[in-house]
Amino acid sequence: MWSFRAWRRRRLLQRVALPQAQWRELVTSLGLLRGLSAEELRRLQQLVLLFLAEKSVVGVQGLVLSDAMRLRIAVQACLPVLALGLDWYRDVRSVLVYPGGFVARHEYQDADGVVHIERAALSGEALEQGPVILSWEDVAAESAAGVNLVIHEFAHKLDMLNGAANGLPPLHEDMSVQQWSADFSAAYASLVAEVERGGVTVLDAYAAKDPAECFAVLSEAFFAAPALLQDSYPEVYGQLQLFYRQDPVLRLGR
């Protein structure tokens, strides 16, 4: 079927290219991208070009974003949809980047109809039908094993494609919602138990907050510390492999 968007994308890719020196530097500096084949890197580069052309990535609170900074955000955002395509981010129009952590103000109504205002200090946030918000300080930081803020927030966006984030993104036809729920529930229960025992969790304990955070945190781990995730929760690793259509353990071993 003829699509204006597809035509516009093809035209853009014919005319625009990423600065190659900057691209090579990024590829060698980000451990996440290790083991990607030449073909996968070529595809990733195309996704990044389209991402930057179609979405606005802007600094707020006086932060001026350089091309290298925007590229660094875009490449991490595009890695999870490398085998899925950019349409999976159709609900993302903009990415707002604060210089550091920011305070989010949330309003919610309780069962009695009382409106509460909550303020929380955050390093990132994904709003349903709204922007992805990131703290540059946290994007740039050398973080702990398996932690990746950009992938975390964009995983929430994938989760929100079928309504409020609940740890169940729209699955592919060859996947089973029952199996996904069973595997994630088991991992979630085990994480919650680990946190309640007060022990040190192998993966980020924030995964035990709720099922939506569990999916986002385990997605981070899937890309940023895949062997650790596969050892701890092999069934979840398998589900994420089916969902993202990637096998980071295999490619990092390459």
Residues that bind Zn ion (CB under 5 A): 213, 216
Shortest Å, Cβ 159 to Zn ion: 9
Q: How far apart are CB 211 and Zn ion at their closest, in Å? A: 11
Smallest gap, in angstroms, from Cβ of residue 210 to Zn ion?
Answer: 9
> In a 3-state reduction of DSSP, which class is residue 135?
strand
Nearer to Zn ion, 138 or 213 (CB): 213
Instruction: Please identify, using beta-carbon distances, which residue of 49 and 73 lies nearer to Zn ion.
Output: 73
**Torsion, Cα of 214, 206, 219, 159 (10° steps):** 50
CA atoms within 13 Å, Cβ hemisphere of 37: 7
Which tokens sit at 190? 């085990």
Instruction: Pick between residue 70 and residue 152 the one whose CB is nearest to Zn ion.
Output: 152
Token pair 């740039």 is found at 140
Residue placing its CB nearer to Zn ion in the complex, 78 or 216: 216
State which residue, 183 or 213, has the beta carbon closest to Zn ion.
213
Structure tokens at 123: 């390093």
Q: By Cβ distance, which residue is nearest to Zn ion? A: 216
What's the closest the beta carbon of residue 126 comes to Zn ion, in angstroms?
Answer: 7
Phi-psi region at 129: left, alpha or beta (left = phi > 0; alpha = psi -120 to 50) = left
Whether the CB-CB separation of 148 and 124 falls below 8 Å is answered with no
CB of 131 to Zn ion, least distance (A): 14
159 and 146 Cβ atoms separated by less than 8 Å = no
Q: Supply the DSSP symbol for 95.
A: E
| Residue 98 beta carbon to Zn ion: minimum distance, rounded to whole angstroms | 16
Residue 183: how many other CB atoms lie within 10 Å: 19
The residue (of 183 and 220) whose beta carbon lies closer to Zn ion is 220
